[in-house]
Each structure stands twice: as C-alpha cells, then as structure tokens.
Amino acid sequence: MELVLAFLCLLSFISLVLSVPGHHHGDNSTHHHDYCVLGAGPAGLQMGYFLSRSQRDYIILERNAGPGSFFQKYPRHRKLISINKIYTGRQNKEFNLRHDWNSLLSDRPDLLFQRVSRDLYPEADTYPLYLSMFESELGLKVKYRTDVGRIRASDLAGNKSYILTDQHGTDYKCRVLLVSTGLWVPEQVDFVGSDLVEGYESVSTDPEEYKDQAVLILGKGNSAFETAQSILGRASRIHLYSPSPVRLAWQTHYVGDLRAVNNELLDTYQLKSLDGLVEGGLEDIAIVRRRREEGKMRTGKKRPATSSDRKEQFYLTLSELLDGHDGNKGANITAENLPGYHDDNFSLRQPYDRVIRCLGFRFNFTIFDGLARLPHSTCARGRLPAVTAWYEGRGTSNLFILGTAAHSRDYRTSAGGFIHGFRYTVRAVHKVLEQRYHNNAWPATRLSTSQLLSWILKRVNEASGPYQMFGVLGDIILLQGAHCEYLEEFPVQALPHFSALSGRRISEHGLLVVVMQYGLNHTNTLGPGRAESEWTKAWKSNFLHPVIYYYPTLPTEKDMRQRPVGWPLPRPNAVHHMVEDFLTEWDQPISHSQPLRRFLEYCLKTDLRAFYAESCFRLSLTNHKPPLFCRQGYLNKEGFVGNSHLWQHAREAGLMPAHQGSVIPADDGLFSEYLPHAGAAVTSTIDFDL
C-alpha cells in the first residue's frame, strides 16, 4: 500500500509539472511528504503523534517558533476554562480522561497535562509548555517558522494532492493534507463605526485602565464575559450586546456556551448592580463618537474645556438613524441621530467610554487557492469550513480538517471544537487514513457474544471518547452470531459509509451503535424531576447516558438526513437507553445490567443469561442447543461452577431446581463435591472387576 501511495504521489507530481510549466521543478526546495499537518497546535500535534506511531512519512508545519502559539496570547486574561481535574478517586486512566480536558492522547501514561499544572483552571502559559513537552518527548517532526501562505491542489483523475508554499518559496508536496490551523482570525462584523471598536485580541487587560468607565462589549460568549469579569471591579457600567441571549453551558451541556467560571456579571446584572445584557442585531447598529459638549446650547460664555469634557464618548445607534451620515465624521452627530431621542427609555441610551468587540474567531480561508478552496459551512455564520462526517473537506479529497476548525460537524452540540473532544476525532480520522491509504482496517476487538454485555458495560463506564464526543463518536458492534467485533469511537454520522471507511463488513446479524447522549432538556436544569431513576423511563434521562441503537442493516444517507429531530442517528429497529446515573456508574444489576442484557437478547434473538455449570449440565443433556452461555462456557469446558453458598441463593430465588446443587457430602478430602473431570478419568466408588 505504501507503494500505491508513493505511486500516486509521483503521478500527482508529474501532473503538477505538466500543469504548471513555469514552476521551478528540480528546485531542491521542494519537499515531498505523504502527510502534511498544517499547524502545531493541539490537533496538529495529536495527529502528529498518531502518524508517528504508525510510522508514516509526515511533517508538521508551524509558522511560529513553538507549538500552540494561540495559547501564548489567548485567552487574554490567561485563565484556561478547560477542566484539569487531577483527583477523581479513580485509577482508571481511560476514565480519568473524562475529567482531564487538556491532555493529548498518547501511550505514555505520564504525558498528561497535570505534569505542568495542578490547577483546576490552569494558567494559559502552561499550555504551550505542555505542547512542547508532548512534542519533544514523543519526538514529533515539526518544522517551525514555516509560514505557509498558499495552498494549491493538483487533481489527477479526481485524486487530489496538495502543494504548500512557505514564506521562502519552498514547496511542500503532500499526498494528504491535514489542516489543523485552528481559528485565530478575529471575527468582525461590518457596521458603521466598527473601526471605533477595540478588539478582544488587542484590548488592554489591565483593569486599572477601565476605572470608572462605561464599557459596551459586543458579544455574549466566554471571551466577552471573561473581559467583563476582569474589569468588573473597576468599570462603572458594563453592557453586553449581541443578537442572541446568553446560553449557559450548565444548561445546554455545550462547553462553548457561557461557563460558570466567567459568569459573575450575571450576578451583578440580576442584582441590579449597573451591569446588563441586551439583545440586538449587530449588522445594523452604528457606533458613533460624540464629544461631551456637543449638542449643548452655546451660552456664549466659553469656558475652557476640561480634559474630561473633551473626552470622546461612544453611542450605540442604528445606521438608519444616521440619515446618510458617515458616523466616522463624528462632527455632526445630533440628538436625532441617537435612539434615545426617539425612545426615551431606550436601554443603551447612555454613552460609553469604550466599545469592545468579543465575537470570537474564524477560520483563515484565504490561503487556499483554486482547487484547494474550502467551502464555508452553513453553521456558525460561515466561520468554519464545511467537512464530511469523517472530517474531509467537502470537495477537497485527501484534505482533512482537524481540531477546532472541524467543529462544524457538532457546532453548539458536542465537544468537537475543543481539545477534550477533538483529540478523539483526530484519532478517528487517523484510523480512516490507515484504512484508506494503507488498507489497515479499523481496529476491532473480537468478543464472544456471551461477553458482549460485560464489554459494553466496561466501555460505558470508562470510555472517554464517546463520553466527551457524545452523540458524535460511538462504538460500533458488528454482530456475527456467536462472536462480534467491537470497534471503538467511530464518527456515527459517517455510518452510511461505514464499510468503506472502516474496511469491515456488516453481517446479516446487523450492528449495534453505542453512543452517549444528553436528554431532551425540557425540564428546568436545577428543578425537580431533572433526573430520571426508573430504568423503564430511561429515554427521558436528561443527563449524559448511554444509548444503544440496533440496526439490522446500515442506515443510508437518506435515513441519516431524515433522522428524528435532535437525534444523532436515524430511528433504529430497537433502541435502549441506559438510565442516567448520578455517579455515572452504569454497573448496577437491576437498573443497568439486566435491562441492557434484555435489549441485547432482543437484538441477538438469544438468551444471554449466565448459568451455573450444574444448570448447564442439565440443559446440555436435555436441549439440542443449550443457552449461549453454556455453549460458549460450559461446553467449551470453561463452565462456571459456583459454590454451595451461591447455589443456595439461586434455589431460594426459585431459579434453580430445589434438588440441584445439594450434593450428598462425601468424605474424600477437601473438595469432595468436585469429581475429577474426564481428563483425569473417573474414580468410581463402584468396583468394576469383571
């Protein structure tokens, strides 16, 4: 397969040579790689790790001098809001990743973020530090100070490859391009006076500079609140303005919404302490500048203007009110141009000393040229590129988007835009690459069907990928009768293309998909009835809980498109919700295990109960085909014997015939009730001398 890849590379190279005659071929500044990773942020390094582990020809290109440069600057107030929970009371490494939002995935048990910070909300400077450590300890191939300014594609019979050009004119020819450049272009909205606005990226972080100032912040996300929170003790008045109301992360379960870490302003707003939130569109507003004395009636006496009088202030108005005025001219703003003139109790009628834009970031589309051009996703106001369910750019084959930029798949629903989410999608993409370019099928664990229940419980109780990437990554179980194959963390939206992406076949027994999901969220997040404890009502669970879907055949694209509103997957033949658990431990016999077992029994059309060896003995002699547990255990000479104490319980429960297990005590040693098995022949008490 490596050969195929090399061959394709060669072909694409030739085609490039043909199509770009003016190109300096033969130039020794051209590098060839199977995989180019653009950007050495968390996503780029994460992919680098997987490529390095599978010993692929790859290079990570980074324009800055170190990894994760975004974190050198952002968040501006230097506190990460990603949870770094070190003490979970558990030793399970996989489980602990559920509460570690900063570490990247690797096979080094000690290469965790907790090595650089012990804080629950760590200092932002520690993140580049962690990334450097990750890069160097794993020996990842990163080329720093390589600023790729242009990306072109060459297309040979529909097979695209990519040419990257850096600031020195060096070309990188890449069979597969993995774009992990993140989002770093500040999002701006064009309105009259938008040039008068300071940006989050450059605003002062010194609270003293805001002393007694009225501040208008455009935006209601985490960066807006972070900015507001830092000046809360100095500013006189802080108003937050944006189209949508605040979405609270603890209500929506979306970590991109306002986190409680930053929400002190909600307090001061609701307690009427001069701060507030206002909803309104951004495109049609105007920010105008007006000196204090402007509009004052001239009394004739001209007093020398004090510095404070002179100070310019900003008003929020609407572009329509300016009557063709160019707000920037500033000089002729009259009272009629302001909303307060028309509406005496207009909320934002008072002037502001500063207006700050905190509207988030967008993907840098500009470096992609021609065939490499990336389409915009319809969500998130086009700030993100559109990608397929397996994170390949739409229309740009062999170009994958990783990291925050790939968030369009689960924007405002799951964690794909955040480190603790995309570290798993990167791993999933790597498995897709391994299958597509190297014919290594998606790794699968082969299990006896009688072990399936136990294995699902293991996964739902520890797996971090489906837990963080709820509704997006799910475990796939390929049912094959007596056995099944267990595939971890497949992007469930890509199910219609499962066979091509994973290299695995669906048998006539169908498949199960295990995903984690939040519920309908129709109830008050903190109100009564917010949690469900009855397993028969598990489908009404509000908190994250495992859901298992059963499909006899793969769903089609159409099924996927028409899936029920709010569902991650189409209506299956059968579905099982495991009731939400306060401790997120789904291992209890009555509420979790047995209902799941019965669901599996329905899907597999077989009895999955466990039996003592003695019961299997009886069932094996009286049934043509005893239950699966007996067939896979007992008849395989690995039956489970139990002891008289347990049998007693089973008899009392009426699950075992009364006389069973009641062995007549013999006197030949310690384990008299256990007769030697066949391999050891039989010691009979009866004399066979003939």
Site for another protein in 285-304 (CB under 8 A): 285
Binding-site member from 66, 207, 339, 375 for another protein (CB under 8 A)? 339
Neighbouring residues of 513: CB distance < 8 A, sequence distance ≥ 6: 474, 475, 476, 477, 492, 495, 548, 549, 551, 569, 572
Smallest distance, another protein to C-beta of residue 352, A: 15
Give yes or no for a contact between 494 and 501, defined as CB atoms under 8 angstroms apart: yes
Is residue 448 within the footprint of another protein (CB under 8 A)? yes
Binding-site member from 72, 136, 167, 445 for another protein (CB under 8 A)? 445
Tokens at 162, concatenated:
């990519």
Tokens at 399, concatenated:
């170009």
Q: What are the DSSP E strand ranges found in 402-540?
A: 444-448, 473-480, 483-491, 511-517
Torsion angle in degrees (nearest 10) through CA of 101, 102, 104, 105: -30
Nearer to another protein, 23 or 649 (CB): 649
Give yes or no for a contact between 377 and 401, defined as CB atoms under 8 angstroms apart: no
| Region 125-184 residues binding another protein, contact defined as CB under 8 A | none
Is residue 277 within the footprint of another protein (CB under 8 A)? yes
Is residue 312 within the footprint of another protein (CB under 8 A)? no
DSSP 373: P
Nearer to another protein, 20 or 641 (CB): 641
Q: Which span (17-25, 175-183, 275-283, 366-374) binds another protein, by CB under 8 A?
A: 275-283
Distance from chain centroid for Cα 599:
28
Q: Which span (173-181, 327-335, 419-427, 607-615) binds another protein, by CB under 8 A?
A: 607-615
Cα 12-13-18 angle, rounded to 5 deg:
95
Crossing angle, helix 419-438 and helix 2-19, to 10 degrees?
A: 90
Is residue 675 within the footprint of another protein (CB under 8 A)? yes
Smallest distance, another protein to C-beta of residue 254, A: 9
Is residue 599 within the footprint of another protein (CB under 8 A)? yes
Nearer to another protein, 167 or 662 (CB): 662
Q: Which of 156, 153, 150 has its CA nearest to residue 14?
A: 156
Calculate the alpha carbon distances from 529 to 541, 576, 581 in Å: 10, 21, 14
Q: Which span (49-57, 112-120, 365-373, 567-575) binds another protein, by CB under 8 A?
A: 567-575
Torsion angle in degrees (nearest 10) through CA of 405, 514, 556, 397: 30
Smallest distance, another protein to C-beta of residue 273, A: 15
What is the C-alpha separation between 641 and 648, in angstroms, rounded? Answer: 13
What is the C-alpha separation between 85 and 88, in angstroms, rounded? Answer: 7
Tokens at 497, concatenated:
């293309």
What is the C-alpha separation between 539 and 536, in angstroms, rounded? Answer: 8
Is residue 318 within the footprint of another protein (CB under 8 A)? yes
Nearer to another protein, 168 or 272 (CB): 272
Give yes or no for a contact between 55 and 115, defined as CB atoms under 8 angstroms apart: no
Site string for another protein, 75-94 (x = CB under 8 A): ---------------xxxxx
Site string for another protein, 578-597 (x = CB under 8 A): ---------x-xx-xxxx-x
Give yes or no for a contact between 276 and 313, defined as CB atoms under 8 angstroms apart: no
What is the C-alpha separation between 67 and 664, in angstroms, rounded? Answer: 73
For β-strands 58-61 and 30-38, DSSP reports them as: parallel
Q: Which span (160-168, 418-426, 510-518, 622-630) binds another protein, by CB under 8 A?
A: 622-630
Is residue 510 within the footprint of another protein (CB under 8 A)? no
Distance from chain centroid for Cα 106:
17
Binding-site member from 346, 373, 497, 554 for another protein (CB under 8 A)? 346
Give yes or no for a contact between 96 and 105, defined as CB atoms under 8 angstroms apart: no
Is residue 30 within the footprint of another protein (CB under 8 A)? no
Is residue 605 within the footprint of another protein (CB under 8 A)? yes
Binding-site member from 222, 449, 451, 517 for another protein (CB under 8 A)? 451
Is residue 683 within the footprint of another protein (CB under 8 A)? yes
- Cα Rg for the chain, rounded, in angstroms? 32
Binding-site member from 449, 461, 517, 542 for another protein (CB under 8 A)? 461
For β-strands 396-401 and 444-448, DSSP reports them as: unpaired
Is residue 554 within the footprint of another protein (CB under 8 A)? no
Site string for another protein, 101-130 (x = CB under 8 A): --------x---------------------
Is residue 568 within the footprint of another protein (CB under 8 A)? no
Binding-site member from 233, 280, 295, 481 for another protein (CB under 8 A)? 280
Q: What stretch of H or E contains 165?
A: strand 159-165
Site string for another protein, 349-388 (x = CB under 8 A): -----------------------------xx---------
Smallest distance, another protein to C-beta of residue 628, A: 7
Q: Which span (126-134, 171-179, 423-431, 665-673) binds another protein, by CB under 8 A?
A: 665-673
Is residue 278 within the footprint of another protein (CB under 8 A)? yes
Nearer to another protein, 31 or 115 (CB): 115
What is the C-alpha separation between 472 and 490, in angstroms, rounded? Answer: 8
What is the C-alpha separation between 18 and 32, in angstroms, rounded? Answer: 17
DSSP 192: B
Nearer to another protein, 207 or 276 (CB): 276
Is residue 62 within the footprint of another protein (CB under 8 A)? no
Cα 419-425-429 angle, rounded to 5 deg:
135
Q: What stretch of H or E contains 401?
A: strand 396-401
Nearer to another protein, 156 or 635 (CB): 635
Is residue 480 within the footprint of another protein (CB under 8 A)? no
Q: Which span (13-21, 229-237, 502-510, 637-645) binds another protein, by CB under 8 A?
A: 637-645
Smallest distance, another protein to C-beta of residue 108, A: 11
Smallest distance, another protein to C-beta of residue 260, A: 17
